[in-house]
């Protein structure tokens, strides 16, 4: 049975918490929308897992966006996850330039990774880090190390069928107040986490993984929370995009496209179609109704 969950855990006697994410159905839903080459599908799965980890860690109401851009054959990876644990993602790539053995740096040379938090209320926040590591996980860890955030460790893997993520994050000093002791604890826990291998991570349940890694520690494992694929596109958003063109340009586009404007969602491949009656109504009273065809 396919499952998509995120699960928190806490070291009872240490100032460290963690999160484990497993994605199957939502990862499958993202991949079925486009025919991605294997290394692109792998990186997209890793970024999906990373966004779900961060949504489980950051306490906010809104949407988190992870976007990797580069000058290489994979110019864009983009994933969104909201506070309802709804996720979607997309990649842009040059298929003829990609082979299955390419590394992150070969796929995304001179890349940058942007993390954007767009809360329902309050200010939008964005942080950017260079994609200098050998993996997305190391680049994300570097982002947190270079920011004012608490030290955070990422472990990500994906194989085209499953995507999983593991996160450790240091907490403010409450149980360990000595800096050297805290640093030694952090190093010890991350070294053990690095002993994970992908086959084990993809096939073993969360409680078993934590026991194998940290059987000497007292760990509290919280309930599993569901994650699902969901695309936030809508006919209303498409209508707003048309409205933003202005009436003259919208009718010019309508004429150019032989009487029907098709707006397609790059994330889920839905198509929203607007004919002359729809566009007239749109600028008459601002309504996107009556609904025309919406296709998958």
User: How do residues 213-245 score in pLDDT, each as one tens digit?
Assistant: 999 999 999 999 999 998 777 788 788 888 888
Q: How confident is the model at residue 251 (pLDDT cuts 50, 70, 90)?
A: confident
Task: State the average pLDDT over residues 119-126.
Answer: 86
Kindly state the greatest CA–CA separation across the chain: 72
What's the confidence (pLDDT) of residue 291? 46
Q: How confident is the model at residue 9 (pLDDT cuts 50, 70, 90)?
A: very high
CA 1 – CA 228 distance, rounded (Å): 14
- pLDDT over 60 at 286, yes or no: no
What is the residue-averaged pLDDT of the chain? 88
Q: Which of 171, 180, 40, 145 is nearest to 97 (CA)?
A: 40
What's the confidence (pLDDT) of residue 72? 94
Residues facing 8 on adjacent strands: 19
- pLDDT over 90 at 192, yes or no: yes
Q: Are 98 and 40 in contact (CB under 8 A)?
A: yes
Residues facing 132 on adjacent strands: none
What's the confidence (pLDDT) of residue 232? 76
The residue that leads in pLDDT, 53 or 122, is: 53
Task: Output the six-digit token pair for 242.
Answer: 């048309």
User: Is residue 195 reached through a cis peptide bond, with omega within 30 degrees of 0 on the bond before it?
Assistant: no
What's the confidence (pLDDT) of residue 71? 92
What's the confidence (pLDDT) of residue 250? 84
- pLDDT over 50 at 78, yes or no: yes
Q: Which helix (H) or strand (E) holds 286?
A: none
CA 11 – CA 186 distance, rounded (Å): 12
Task: Output the six-digit token pair for 142.
Answer: 């570097």
**Number of Cβ atoms within 10 Å of the Cβ of 289:** 12
**Number of Cβ atoms within 10 Å of the Cβ of 15:** 20
Q: How confident is the model at residue 108 (pLDDT cuts 50, 70, 90)?
A: very high
- pLDDT over 90 at 278, yes or no: no
Q: Are 45 and 203 in contact (CB under 8 A)?
A: no
Task: State the average pLDDT over residues 269-276.
Answer: 81
Query: What is the percent of the chain with per-residue pLDDT over 70, rounded to a whole number?
Result: 95
**131-162: per-residue pLDDT in tens?**
988 899 999 998 888 776 688 999 999 999 99
Q: Reading across the β-sheet that carries 271-275, which strands appear in turn?
A: 260-264, 271-275, 294-295
Task: State the average pLDDT over residues 87-92.
Answer: 94
Task: Output the six-digit token pair for 238.
Answer: 């498409």
Q: How confident is the model at residue 271 (pLDDT cuts 50, 70, 90)?
A: confident
């Amino acid at each position: 049975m396919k499952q998509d969950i995120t699960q928190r855990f806490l070291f009872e006697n240490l100032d460290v918490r963690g999160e484990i994410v497993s994605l199957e159905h939502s990862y499958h839903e993202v991949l079925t929308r486009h025919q991605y080459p294997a290394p692109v599908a792998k990186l997209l799965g890793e970024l999906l897992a990373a966004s779900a980890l961060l949504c489980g860690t950051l306490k906010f109401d809104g949407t988190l966006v992870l976007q990797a851009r580069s000058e290489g054959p994979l110019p864009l990876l983009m994933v969104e996850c909201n506070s309802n644990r709804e996720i979607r993602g997309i990649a842009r790539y040059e298929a003829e330039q990609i082979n299955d053995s390419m590394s992150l740096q070969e796929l995304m040379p001179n890349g940058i990774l942007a993390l954007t938090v767009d809360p329902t209320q309050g200010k939008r926040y964005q942080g950017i880090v260079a994609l200098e590591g050998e993996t997305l996980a190391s680049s994300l860890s570097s982002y947190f190390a270079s920011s004012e955030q608490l030290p955070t460790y990422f472990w990500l893997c994906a194989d085209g069928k499953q995507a999983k993520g593991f996160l450790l994050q240091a907490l403010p000093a409450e149980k360990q107040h000595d800096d050297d002791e805290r640093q030694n604890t952090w190093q010890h826990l991350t070294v053990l986490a690095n002993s994970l291998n992908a086959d084990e991570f993809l096939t073993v349940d969360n409680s078993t993984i934590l026991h194998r890694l940290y059987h000497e520690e007292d760990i509290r494992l919280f309930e599993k929370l569901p994650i699902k694929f969901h695309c936030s596109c809508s006919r209303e958003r498409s209508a707003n995009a048309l409205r933003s063109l202005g009436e003259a340009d919208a009718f010019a586009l309508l004429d150019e496209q032989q009487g029907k404007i098709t707006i397609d969602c790059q994330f889920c491949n839905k198509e929203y179609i607007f004919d002359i009656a729809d566009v007239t109504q749109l600028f008459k009273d601002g309504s996107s109704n009556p609904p025309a065809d919406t296709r998958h």
